[in-house]
Amino acid sequence: MLWSADWFSKVTFDDDKKSEIEINSWEDAFAHFLDDEFGSFVMAKTDDIIDAANEQAEDAPVNSEWDDLVDVCKLEMNQYVPSKVNDFEFVAEKDRKKTIDRINWMIIFAIREIEYSDVIKTHFYRDWCEILLSGHFACYWDGDIEQGDFVVV
């Protein structure tokens, strides 16, 4: 389903009254998505998932299973994500690899949230993928790690 969706097809740059962060163009959207601050935030959310999984697994079977799952997912994603990004004219050539990498990790952690939903209660990455599936783009986070929401175009 993720591969057949029309990524970014419903994006508009209307003024979002819910957010103080202005996104007026694709350039703005990808600048925020690739921003180091957003990257750090995404990694902090990743730490929450890893911590939750480790608390439930004394000898870390979750993490060894996770490594196998990531390997399978990467093979599949390497067939689709680069073509989706490379076909999209608004991603600057210099930003394509970083965009592909960030999207890949967002998808991988969404899969982890789903796969281990019995021990991982967060849905940050699943929500991001749902936004992408809807044709929009969650390019940033407005608020702190506990209170906030995606900035969606």
pLDDT of residue 32: 94
pLDDT in tens, 87-135: 888 899 999 999 999 999 899 889 888 877 877 777 899 999 999 999 9
Write out 55-115 in H/E/C secondary structure: HHCCCCHHHHHHHHHHHHHHHHHHHHHHHHHHCCCCCCHHHHHHHHHHHHHHHHHHHHHHH
pLDDT in tens, 4-23: 888 888 998 876 566 778 89
Is residue 2 a contact partner of residue 126, using CB atoms and an 8 Å limit?
no
Q: Which two tokens stand for residue 124?
A: 């940050």
Q: φ, ψ for residue 141 (rounded to 5)?
A: -120, 130
Q: Which two tokens stand for residue 35?
A: 């921003």
Is residue 151 a contact partner of residue 46, using CB atoms and an 8 Å limit?
no
pLDDT of residue 20: 77
- 138-143 and 148-152 strand pairing: antiparallel
Is residue 50 a contact partner of residue 113, using CB atoms and an 8 Å limit?
no
Categorize the per-residue pLDDT at 143 as very low, low, confident or very high, splitting at 50, 70 and 90.
confident
Q: What percentage of residues in the chain have a pLDDT greater than 70?
A: 88
